[in-house]
Amino acid sequence: MSVRMRSLFVARIGISRRLSSGNGGGLAGQRGKAQCAPQLPACDIEPQKYQGRSQQEHLSLRRSHLSPFTLSYYHSPLLLHHGYMQWLWDADGRRYLDFYGGIVTVIVGHCHPKVTAAAQQQLGHLWHTSNVYMHPGIGPYMEKLCSTLPPPLQVVFLVNSGSEANDLAMLLARIHTGNHSIITLRGSYHGGTQATMGLTSISSWKFNVAAASGCAPVMCPDVYRGLWGGSKCRDSPVQTTRSCNCHSDTGECQAREAYLSEFRELLLSAAPLRLAGFIAEPIQGVNGVVQYPRGFLSEAANIVRARGGLYISDEVQTGFGRLGSHFWGFQSLGVTPDIITTAKGIANGFPMGAVVTTPDIAACMGEALSFNTFGGGPLACAIGSAVLQVIDEEGLMQNAEARGTDLMLQLSDLRKEFEVVGDVRGKGLMVGLELVRSKESREPLPPTDMRRIWEDCKEMGLLLGIGGIFGQTFRLKPPMCISQEDVDFAVAVLRLALQRHTLRKSGEV
Ligand SMILES: Cc1ncc(COP(=O)(O)O)c(C=O)c1O
């Protein structure tokens, strides 16, 4: 992809690579219009006043020393200096409701007191050993992690990131099966390393190099934007507005059957007869919370297994209870994978990842030496363990289900109110709001409009993610500790931002 195309994509999704010192697209001061903006829910934390270098100085340091391709959100990037649970504060003391959780990572809340205490306690004992020695944290941690998974998924490889986990999963699949080809769904994001770039199937994240060979992307069964889809296909409290004659009570889904036949057909041309594996997220994250028809993934996994391949579930965004109904995304699909990969929420923001597989598959790693300096270190295990404890003790998975369902139902009211709200979807606290020019055309809302609404939400104190190949979907994936008041606030902010958008478009302001 040319530099021009990359910058077009960046423009599309509204993230700035070149940092600007200007204000937020003419929206600065919006919060001053207090009579219009919804009131942020109360919070009794008063962070210390920020006394470090100015935002301007940080911008210039970033320009001089950080990789020029570091992505940066918002026209005037935020300088954040304090976080507590679902809240973030910038250097000027402004508070934000974080509905993006450090990119779907801060799962139990920023600086959660119990997780912070566990980290602090471990820091005072032992930071690092490497796995050539034992330390008391790792065994119990792996036992706890495995207790969330069904047998035979009981062997864990601890690593440091999602890309590293997927890289290792590819290796395991290839060594174990003796095959090379891995099937991936278009629109998926599985990492940014040279190997995982082959799995990732969004062109804007691909460099023009010979990334992992043997990765074949096939059609994404997107029931809203794809070729087929109806009003009963997905496992979500909100369905698409597309019509169909299927019967959800009998499990009939024409869209699923159409996508499966496309899947079979693509395999006939896109890959050799023998496969190493198939990797998919239970719900696509970076692509804007894309859900497939119920039953698609389990059947696709069967098709791949019949050709000798393993089914890998990328749970980097969908794990740890985020989907509400189950601890892991695959548990809602009716199929147990051969390998799962996870990262992000596993340690609430501390760098950590994991691959879990069966003893039989793991045994293939005995062929050569393998080693990971930091994976499964004492600090990571102490934090990971505290995260699991907090999710359980505080009922966060149940909270994700209740708050997420309410959020989606309220967002579906916005779909009735605004022509530009094309789709609302998701499960638990993995929620997507897709904006379009019109419901009828489903044409993505142009990037300038998306960006304006997004900046407006930020000015009112709500941080959202953006996703989708056209940058057309807001991603709402907050820490799982949010309250009902937070949900109501987020919907009120979005409603106002959409009203302002409508007014701008009708030329009234
Ligand atoms: C589904 C999925 N898999 C893998 C990755 C890569 O994780 P990391 O950025 O930790 O390498 C990401 C990152 O966004 C992801 O969303």
pLDDT in tens, 265-310: 999 998 999 999 999 999 999 999 999 999 999 999 999 999 999 9
**Ligand 1 and 314: CB distance under 6 A:** yes
CB of 316 within 6 A of ligand 1: the answer is yes
Residue nearest to atom 8 of ligand 1 (CA): 162
Q: Which domains does the chain have, with CATH numbers?
A: 3-108+396-505 (3.90.1150.10), 113-161+343-393 (3.40.640.10), 164-312 (3.40.640.10)
Q: Is the CB of 319 under 6 A from ligand 1?
A: no
For residue 189 and ligand 1, the question of a CB distance below 6 A is answered with yes
Question: Average pLDDT in the 38-45 region?
Answer: 95
Confidence of residue 248 (pLDDT cuts 50, 70, 90): confident
Cα torsion 308, 314, 320, 325 to 10°: value is: -70
Sign, CA torsion 505/507/508/509: positive
* CB half-sphere exposure, 115, CA atoms < 13 A: 27
What is the pLDDT of the chain when averaged over all its residues?
92
How much is the pLDDT for 6? 41
> Residue 82: pLDDT band by 50, 70, 90 thresholds?
very high
**Contact residues for 489 (Cβ-Cβ < 8 A; gap 6+):** 38, 39, 40, 41, 97, 462
Average pLDDT, integer, range 241-252: 89
Whether 346 has a pLDDT exceeding 90, the answer reads yes
Residue 26 or 435, more confident: 435
Confidence label for 13 from pLDDT (cuts 50, 70 and 90): very low
Mean pLDDT (whole number) for 310-322: 98
User: Burial letters for 463-499: b for 16+ Cβ neighbours within 10 Å, e otherwise?
Assistant: bbbbbbbbbbbbbbbbbbbbeeebbebbbbbbbbbbe
Question: What confidence score (pLDDT) does residue 158 get?
Answer: 98
SS3 416: helix
Quote the strand ranges of 281-420, DSSP E. Answer: 310-314, 339-342, 353-357
∠ CA 315-319-324, nearest 5°, is 135
Q: Whose CA is nearest to atom 4 of ligand 1?
A: 190
**pLDDT at residue 29, as a whole number:** 40
The torsion of the CA quartet 235, 431, 396, 114, rounded to 10 degrees, works out to 150
Tell whether ligand 1 has an atom less than 6 A from the beta carbon of residue 101.
Answer: no
Report how far ligand 1's centroid is from the alpha carbon of 201 (Å).
Answer: 13
C-beta of residue 445 within 8 angstroms of C-beta of residue 472: yes
The CA 116 to ligand 1 mean position distance, Å, reads 24
What is the C-alpha to C-alpha distance for residues 129 and 167, in angstroms, rounded to an integer?
24
Which pair of structure tokens corresponds to residue 72? 């940066």
- Cα separations in angstroms, 478 against 83, 97, 399: 13, 9, 12
Does residue 281 line the site of ligand 1, with CB under 6 A? yes
Residue 170's closest CA among 222, 138, 206, 216?
A: 216
Q: Is the CB of 184 under 6 A from ligand 1?
A: no
Query: Residue 103 in contact with residue 465, Cβ under 8 Å?
Result: yes
- DSSP 8-state code for residue 289: S
**Residue 384 in this model has a pLDDT that exceeds 50:** yes
Centre of ligand 1 to C-alpha 162, Å, is 5
pLDDT at 235: 97
Q: Measured over all CA atoms, what is the biggest interatomic distance in the chain, rounded to whole angstroms?
A: 69
pLDDT of residue 306: 98
Ligand 1 mean position, distance from CA 76 (Å): 25
Q: How confident is residue 509, by pLDDT bands cut at 50, 70 and 90?
A: low
pLDDT, average across residues 383-409: 98
Q: Return d(Cα 311, Cα 415) in angstroms, integer.
A: 36
pLDDT for the residue 212: 67
Mean pLDDT within 371-385: 97
**Residues 291, 236: contact at Cβ < 8 Å?**
yes
The span from the CA of 136 to the CA of 414, in Å, is 51
Cα dihedral 478→480→482→483 (10° resolution): 140
> Are 40 and 95 in contact, with CB atoms under 8 Å apart?
yes
Residue 247 has pLDDT above 90, yes or no: no
- 170 alpha carbon – ligand 1 mean position (Å): 14
Question: Between 70 and 89, whose confidence is greater?
Answer: 89
**Each residue's pLDDT tens digit, 398-418:** 999 999 999 999 999 999 999
* Whether residue 14 has pLDDT greater than 50: no
pLDDT at 167: 97
User: How much is the average pLDDT of 83-95?
Assistant: 97
Average pLDDT (217-242) is 97
pLDDT of 19 above 80: no
Residue type, 175: I
> Does 23 have pLDDT greater than 60?
no
Enumerate residues 6+ apart whose C-beta is below 8 A from 240. Answer: 223, 224, 229, 230, 231, 233, 234, 423, 425
Q: In this model, does residue 168 exceed pLDDT 50? A: yes
Neighbours of 66 (CB within 10 A): 11
Please give the pLDDT value at position 209: 87
pLDDT of residue 507: 83
pLDDT at 24: 32
Measured in Å, residue 23 CA sits from the centre of ligand 1 at: 31
Q: What's the distance, CA 487 to chain centroid?
A: 19
- Cβ 167 under 6 angstroms from ligand 1: no
Substitution candidate for ligand 1 out of 166, 184, 189, 287 with most atoms within 8 A of CB: 189
Between CA 444 and CA 436 the distance in angstroms is: 4
| 318 Cα nearest atom in ligand 1 | 1
Contact 24, 85 (CB under 8 A): no
Work out whether the CA dihedral 125, 130, 133, 137 comes out positive or negative: positive
Which among 186, 149, 177 has a CA at the least distance from the CA of 306?
177
Name the phi and psi angles at 463, rounded to 5: -100, 130
318/375 Cα distance (integer angstroms): 21
At 232, is the pLDDT very low, low, confident or very high (cuts 50, 70, 90)? very high
**Residue 279 Cα distances to 301, 476, 483, angstroms:** 9, 24, 34
Query: What is the SS3 string spanning 90-127?
Result: ECCCCEEEECCHHHHCCCCCECCHHHHHHHHHHHCCCC
pLDDT, one tens digit per residue, over 193-220 is: 999 999 999 988 888 888 768 999 999 9
pLDDT digits (tens, 9 = 90+) for 350-366: 999 999 999 999 999 99
Please tell me the distance between residue 475's alpha carbon and the centre of ligand 1 in angstroms.
15
What value does the CA radius of gyration of the chain take, rounded to a whole number of Å? 22
Q: Whose CA is nearest to atom 9 of ligand 1?
A: 162
Instruction: List the beta bridge partners of residue 435.
Output: 421
What residues form DSSP beta bridges with 80? 90
Residue 131, pLDDT score: 87
**Residue 28 pLDDT > 50, yes or no?**
no
Ligand 1 atom, smallest distance to 344 CA: 10
Ligand 1 pocket mutation, candidates 73, 106, 170, 190, criterion most atoms within 8 A of CB? 190
- Is the C-beta atom of 187 inside 6 A of ligand 1? no
For residue 271, what are its two tokens? Answer: 């890959």
Closest-lying ligand 1 atom to the alpha carbon of residue 315: 1
Would you state the pLDDT for residue 25?
Answer: 31
Q: How confident is the model at residue 166 (pLDDT cuts 50, 70, 90)?
A: very high
